Structure 1
Amino acid sequence: MTDVVEVLRRRAGTASFGELRGVVPRGAIRTALADGLIRRIARGVYALPPLPDPLAAARAQGGVVSHESAAFLHGMSVLELPDKPQVTVPRGQHRRLSPVSCRLHWADHVPSDGRVTSKLRTVLDCARTLPFDAGLTVADSALRLGMVDRSQLMVAAAELTGPGCRRAGRVAAAADGRAESPLESVFRSILIENGIDGFELQVVIQDGTFSARIDLGHRALRLAAECDGFAHHSSRLALTRDCRRHVNLTVRGWRLLRFTWEDVMFDREWVVASIRAAMAGPAGHHNWAGVGGLSGEALAG
């Protein structure tokens, strides 16, 4: 079990009652609501209280919006919403008295124009200060959205000096715009940090009668890993299609491991143990044609 506020921060600030109940007790939700730590914005939907305006905080401190706050304003994915606006000011400048609360960072080079750090600077700031999974989430989304170029990111990270430069280089080397969600980015960070190699993003499996794309696939072992959100099956038809897809992958020799948001975010040891156990097992079979007397047309249906 984990904290209600942490769950909401990792869901961009909002979650349904069902999503919260997957990882926190009912009583914790009631307590957080009574204490004002969360608020109900609709029936069965909860959110964090609104944060102070990051632009107002930056103006009050004579700096610029930066780090996770800048990433959020740019439209990049963030693993967790910051508990306070993030603002960067010139090194040596003292904190100003202000009713707008914020978290200050100091730097030698602070843009004199604009109110938010550049997209590239934002990715680098996050990469050098955040945990690996959170930094990778920002970098992946920036690449996916075309906000930064991968070669540009690699060069800029290599030129960094000072605290966090090695961490930023690691994030830049691992960043991949093919990751389609923060959940996939976090899942990849788990694989990387635990030395699990061989998985590729967005692997396409196809033959004459069937085609599917999986989140991450290990071609040599025919092992697929997918991350499913709470509302993965939005209808009965979606469930039926997903089951059919699962069967089609299985009869073609692929083993499919499916992990929920709660697994990836809060039970990473089990995720790692499960993947390693699957990798240690026998690889998928390679002769699927005619399995169980079914033709290719029947399998693709």
Structure 2
Amino acid sequence: MSARPRNVPIRTRDLRHRTGSRLTSRGYARLHHGLWFRDGVPIDSWARAEALMELYPDAAVTGWLAAVIYGHAFAPLDFADEVVAPGRRIERPGVTGWQYRIPPEHVQILTSGHCPDIRIASPEWTLFDIARHEPRVEAICALDTSTTMGLLPINRLRPLAEGLRGVRGRRIVLTRLGEVDTLAESPWETRTRLFLLENGLTGFVLQHRVPEFRYRLDIAWPSLKVAVEYDGAGHRTRKQQADDEIRRNRLRAAGWYIEVVTATSLVRSPDEILAHVRAALGRRGYVSPGA
């Protein structure tokens, strides 16, 4: 029998024939209960999916693991490996098992060059599962930034959901699609957008271009010249901070109010952000509908 490829997951029962009872000290690391990889093998999304196929060969990968394989650039830092396994109850730490059947036309086979091949939900079905299983804000963040998956599966998600009948979560998906704006360029930009909407500020648009400077504002109310800009990690270098300050000074001189938001400020001081933005809008003549 030929040796298995180096990066293929190995079951505990097979590993014991090689190493005896002391597994962790003999060049192997555990991914899931009962499944191991050799030390030094990168445990990326493909490896995780191959491991699931080793454990559940008739299942299909879905959720965030499938989205990452398809190229989604904004997955959570930590997420469970999800599989759909009809008629099979899965109880394994780090793995979420769903007992339903994906329509055959939405199951694809990916070949990585290693054994086993990966059975995976289609990109649009992957988004369908994320949209119905994740909490509202996290689901909308995922859908907003799903353009990083290529071929815009978000455009196929609504027809998919509308065509389903009797599938749990279908209405949730359609509701969340009504809140999606794929012009968002990061999950925190989406969180900022939703924060403004939830507080009744509905005049903001994403990625507004200011023609006289050829600048693009993350979130802007063009007629009132009020903007909210999200600064992520990429804005923390000295050069970028200097460039941002030049840009914002020019915009302010042209009559724009700029509110700079970070992940920390949005979490710790949202009321302060809201007060600043409302005051700026008020100075430009905006009257709150409830005022």
TM range (shorter): 0.5 to 0.7
| 2:278 aligned partner | 277
CA 150–109 in structure 1, closer or farther in 2 if over 3 Å, else same: closer
Larger radius of gyration: 2
Deviation at 1:129, TM superposition (A): 1.1
Contact conserved, 1:132 with 1:189, CA < 8 A, in 2? no
- Give the 4+ runs in structure 1 shifted more than 6 A: 49-52
| 2:55 aligned partner | 60
Cα deviations across residues 87-141 of structure 1 (Å, max 9, x unaligned)?
Answer: 1111x22337x7x741111223254552221111111111111122221222122
Contact conserved, 1:228 with 1:260, CA < 8 A, in 2? yes
Deviation at 1:148, TM superposition (A): 2.3
Q: Distance in 1 between matches of 2:189 and 2:60?
A: 30
Contact conserved, 1:71 with 1:78, CA < 8 A, in 2? no
Q: Give the aligned residue type for 1:60.
A: L
CA 102–268 in structure 1, closer or farther in 2 if over 3 Å, else same: farther
Select between 136-145 and 125-134 the one with higher mean Cα deviation.
136-145
Q: TM-score, normalised by structure 1?
A: 0.66
Q: What secondary structure is seen at the aligned counterpart in 2 of 1:94?
A: coil
Contact conserved, 1:63 with 1:110, CA < 8 A, in 2? no
CA 279–117 in structure 1, closer or farther in 2 if over 3 Å, else same: farther
Select between 195-204 and 52-61 the one with higher mean Cα deviation.
52-61
Q: Distance in 2 between matches of 1:193 and 1:136?
A: 14
Q: Distance in 2 between matches of 1:182 and 1:150?
A: 16
Q: Distance in 1 between matches of 2:217 and 2:125?
A: 32
| 2:20 aligned partner | none
Instruction: Could you tell me which runs of 5 or more consecutive residues in structure 1 were left unpaired when the two chains were aligned.
Output: 1-48, 285-301
Number of aligned pairs?
229
Q: Distance in 1 between matches of 2:247 and 2:67?
A: 36
Contact conserved, 2:89 with 2:99, CA < 8 A, in 1? no
Question: Which of 123, 127, 143 is the matching residue for 1:123?
Answer: 127
Q: Distance in 2 between matches of 1:143 and 1:50?
A: 21
Q: Distance in 2 between matches of 1:176 and 1:256?
A: 21
CA 279–125 in structure 1, closer or farther in 2 if over 3 Å, else same: farther
Q: What secondary structure is seen at the aligned counterpart in 1 of 2:182?
A: coil
Spell out the pairing of 1:41-190 with structure 2 (5 A cutoff): 53-61=48-56, 62-90=58-86, 92-95=87-90, 101-109=94-102, 111=104, 113-114=108-109, 115-148=119-152, 150-160=154-164, 161-190=166-195
Q: Give the aligned residue type for 2:96.
A: R
Contact conserved, 1:124 with 1:157, CA < 8 A, in 2? yes
Instruction: Could you tell me which runs of 5 or more consecutive residues in structure 2 were left unpaired when the two chains were aligned.
Output: 1-42, 110-118, 286-291
Q: Distance in 2 between matches of 1:228 and 1:131?
A: 24
Deviation at 1:227, TM superposition (A): 0.7
CA 77–271 in structure 1, closer or farther in 2 if over 3 Å, else same: farther
Q: What secondary structure is seen at the aligned counterpart in 2 of 1:116?
A: strand
Q: Give the aligned residue type for 2:235.
A: H
Q: Give the aligned residue type for 2:50.
A: L
